[in-house]
Amino acid sequence: MAKAKRKARALKKVKAKRPRAKKRTAAPRAARAARKGKTRPKAKAPRRPKAARKAPAKAKPRPARAKVRTRVAAPPEPSIHPTRALVRHETAVVLAPPRGSVREISASKITETVARLSMEANYDLEADVRKALEKGAAEEESGIGREIFNQLLENADIACSEKLPICQDTGLAIIFVDLGQDAHVMGASLEDAINAGVRRGYGEGYLRKSVLGDPLRRVNTKDNTPAVIHTRIVPGDALKLWVVPKGGGSENMSKIVMLKPADGVEGVKSFVVESVRVASANPCPPIIVGIGIGGSFEQCAMLAKRSLLREVGSVHADPFYADLENALLGEINNLGIGPMGLGGRVTALAVHIETAPCHIASLPVAVNINCHAARHKKAEL
């Protein structure tokens, strides 16, 4: 056994050595020296196009995005083995970043923005939700139901003009972040900057602190942190933030299931409708039903959550899913749950579906319900 291992190791050594020996003769002297550590890579940074080289002097604080892109695409030194060139190229960038090639975003700016969005989201109902409530008020057949719609619209007016939360449950602070890969957060970690913003916004804005530090020992953190932060790294150098306060009542009615592929569209429909039926009055109808279909277990839940970022009532780009959204909205409203569950024709204001590719064996479906106080504010830094 040990003998076999030694033999394998020896073989590996030979394989590893062979290309290196060959390349040594081909590589120019400077590159060889750099590899051995005799010359600082800084001095011999790979050549970049003219535009990128000139950029720092002219545009110090914020270089044009196009220039950043040309830098990334800079060709490696032609005489070096491709894999080595990549390593060397990256090393050079890390040790001697060309000035101005990465956009700097200060943590304090992020904190300030999150604080502002936390307050605005809670006081000021977005136009799309208001429009959906007005439409619902016009369509509702139940007298009590119409009265509730009018109360909700009046409530939104009072909240906005008096800077009072639309709902006393100002939620978990759920923050979606799209961070450009050419942006650099300066001064604090992204998470610390966001949590500082939530702390400030929920404190200065007289918003309710609903976060417990531990799910079973249940002690309030008293500042509504930590926020729930979902970060994506995306192309570009911008930072996009969505602040989405999410109340406990509607979140508690969320569900996920791993259906069998054979269950198909009908299986998806009956799971969604049944979830809404069981939720009944609890999630504060009229609701917005966020649905994730496909992906893995955790991705499916994220799809449902992300679908709630869509403009209320916007239609899915794929006609197949647009039809499914429409069919589900009809079936859900036929449940008769109505505003506050007291009976009525408008139970849901909208159904949003998001999908992802999935495993041949799986058909995951997640339902994340939002109450009518669907709060979301967005900013780009």
Helix locations, 286-318, DSSP H: 297-307
Q: Which of 96, 144, 228, 315 binds another protein (CB under 8 A)?
A: 144
State how far the alpha carbon of 91 is from the alpha carbons of 33, 45, 96, in Å: 15, 9, 8
Confirm if 100 and 357 have CB atoms less than 8 A apart: no
Minimum CB separation of residue 207 from another protein in Å reads 6
Longest CA–CA separation in the chain, Å: 88
365 forms part of the interface with another protein (CB under 8 A): no
Nearest CB to another protein, comparing residues 160 and 381: 160
Number of Cβ within 10 Å of residue 339's Cβ equals 29
Q: Which of 255, 364, 371, 376 binds another protein (CB under 8 A)?
A: 371
Which CB atom, from 23 or from 345, has the smaller least distance to another protein?
345
Q: Applying CB under 8 A, which part among 77-85, 168-176, 238-246, 298-306 lies near another protein?
A: 168-176
- Structural Rg of the chain based on CA atoms: 27
Contact between 372 and 284 (Cβ < 8 Å): yes
Which two structure tokens, joined as six digits, stand for 278? 């069981």
Report d(CA 175, CA 287) in Å as an integer. 21
- The packing angle between helices 82-95 and 29-36, to 10°, is 60
The nearest distance, CB 281 to another protein, in angstroms, is 4
CB of 282 to another protein, least distance (A): 4
The H or E element spanning position 13 is: helix 2-26
The stretch near another protein (CB under 8 A) out of 8-16, 100-108, 111-119, 248-256 is 248-256
- Whichever of 124 and 191 has its CB closer to another protein, that residue is 124
CB 348 within 8 A of CB 291: no
237 neighbors 341 (Cβ within 8 angstroms): no
Stretch that binds another protein, among 55-63, 87-95, 159-167, 234-242 (CB under 8 A): 159-167
Nearer to another protein, 164 or 356 (CB): 164
Question: Which of residues 85, 238, 342, 381 is near another protein by CB under 8 A?
Answer: 342
Of residues 15 and 218, the one with the C-beta less far from another protein: 218
Instruction: Kindly write out the interface string for residues 258-287 of this chain, putting x where it contacts another protein by CB under 8 A and - elsewhere.
Output: ----------------------xxx-x---
- Contact between 215 and 226 (Cβ < 8 Å): no
112 contributes a contact to another protein by CB under 8 A: no
Q: How many residues does the chain have?
A: 381
Give 34 or 371: the residue with its C-beta nearer to another protein.
371
d(C-alpha 286, C-alpha 346), whole Å: 6
Closer to another protein at the Cβ: 224 or 355?
A: 224
For β-strands 287-294 and 239-246, DSSP reports them as unpaired
Say if residue 286 is preceded by a cis peptide, omega within 30 of 0: yes
Of positions 9, 218, 262, 319, contacts another protein by CB under 8 A: 218
Structure tokens belonging to residue 288: 């917005």
Residue from 206, 260, 278, 327 that binds another protein (CB under 8 A)? 206
Task: Decide: 51 and 45 in contact? Cβ < 8 Å.
Answer: no
CB 97, min distance to another protein, A:
45
Rounded to the nearest whole angstrom, what is the least distance from the CB of residue 283 to another protein in the complex?
8
Structure tokens at 119: 């307050």
Residue 151 interacts with another protein (CB under 8 A)? yes
Cβ 205 to another protein shortest distance, Å: 9
Closest by Cα among 365, 324, 330 to 348: 330
**How many Å separate Cα 377 from the centre of its chain?**
13
Minimum CB–partner distance for residue 256 and another protein (Å): 20
Binding site for another protein (CB under 8 A): 141-142, 144, 148, 151-152, 154-155, 158-159, 162-170, 206-210, 218, 220, 222, 248-249, 252, 280-282, 284, 334-338, 340-345, 371-373
